[in-house]
Amino acid sequence: MVAGSWRYVWAYVFVCAVMLYLYVPIAVTVLFSFANSPRLSLPIEGLTLDWYSRALDNPLIVTALRNTALLAAISAVGGCLMGTAFAFGVLKLRQERTRRVLLGLGLLPAVVPLLVIGVALAVFFRTLGSKPGLFNAAVGHVLISLPFVVLTLNARLETFDFSVLEAARDLGATPGRAFLDITLPLIRTSVIGAGLLAAALSLDEFVVTWFNVGTELTAPVLIWGLMRRGVDPSINALATMLLAALLVLILAATMTSRRAPQ
């Protein structure tokens, strides 16, 4: 009993140590974003929101946030459209081996290093004569979010009852009407959750963006550029805003997925 109790205590201590290792740097970043002193040192004399107002008054930061939101929206919409179509197409295949191969290929961008994807896309667009910009970065964001959308939709479609679609077709419904009236309501929550997850992945994407965005700015690219000249609380404020948006998207995606019909 005593040995078992000590094992429990050490396991608890280890888990707490890992959690502190992971989240203390984030907590420090958030804390210093409210410090009223430009020096990033303890103790903090007081709290203020001035660094947030200064960050939002900076036109570079406003442009970066707008571009980041735009890429997140494109990633959510593009990832959902392509991922849903891919998941349905794979599920319709009769050969199990072909289905597994195609599903593995669809999930490959989640395994390939982002550096390889970023460089490959940059070379590809350069070959086509396309200049770096938001369009190239958007293609990269959709590509890296696609595997997670496919996983989410594939898990939902594994339990999908296709007999209701056959019944609707027997009653005279067109494929489009059957999709809008039956399929979409049944998978809507999963699609929304997958889209929110794709947007969250896009928010803090740096490597693929850096190789393809050119002279345009996103929040992660701007933070990296500003940190080369030193860290000040306005950078912490920008990072905290990005973190807050990321947490909201992840929580919304989790809550939406839990409400998915079974």
- What gap in Å lies between CA 255 and CA 147, rounded to an integer? 20
- Write the CB contacts of 47 (distance below 8 Å, at least 6 apart in sequence): 34, 35, 36
Number of CB atoms found within 10 A of residue 25's CB: 10
CATH number of 52-258: 1.10.3720.10
Interval 94-139: pLDDT, tens: 777 887 888 888 888 888 888 999 999 999 999 988 888 899 999 9
- Residue ranges per structural domain of the chain: 52-258
Q: What is the mean pLDDT of the chain?
A: 83
Interval 154-213: pLDDT, tens: 877 777 777 777 777 777 777 777 777 777 777 888 888 888 888 988 988 899 999 999
Give the percent of the chain with pLDDT over 90: 17
Question: What global pTM score does this model have?
Answer: 0.84
Q: For every residue of 104-127, which 3-state class applies, written as one string?
A: HHHCHHHCCCHHHHHHHHHHHHHH
Residue 135's identity, in one-letter code, is F
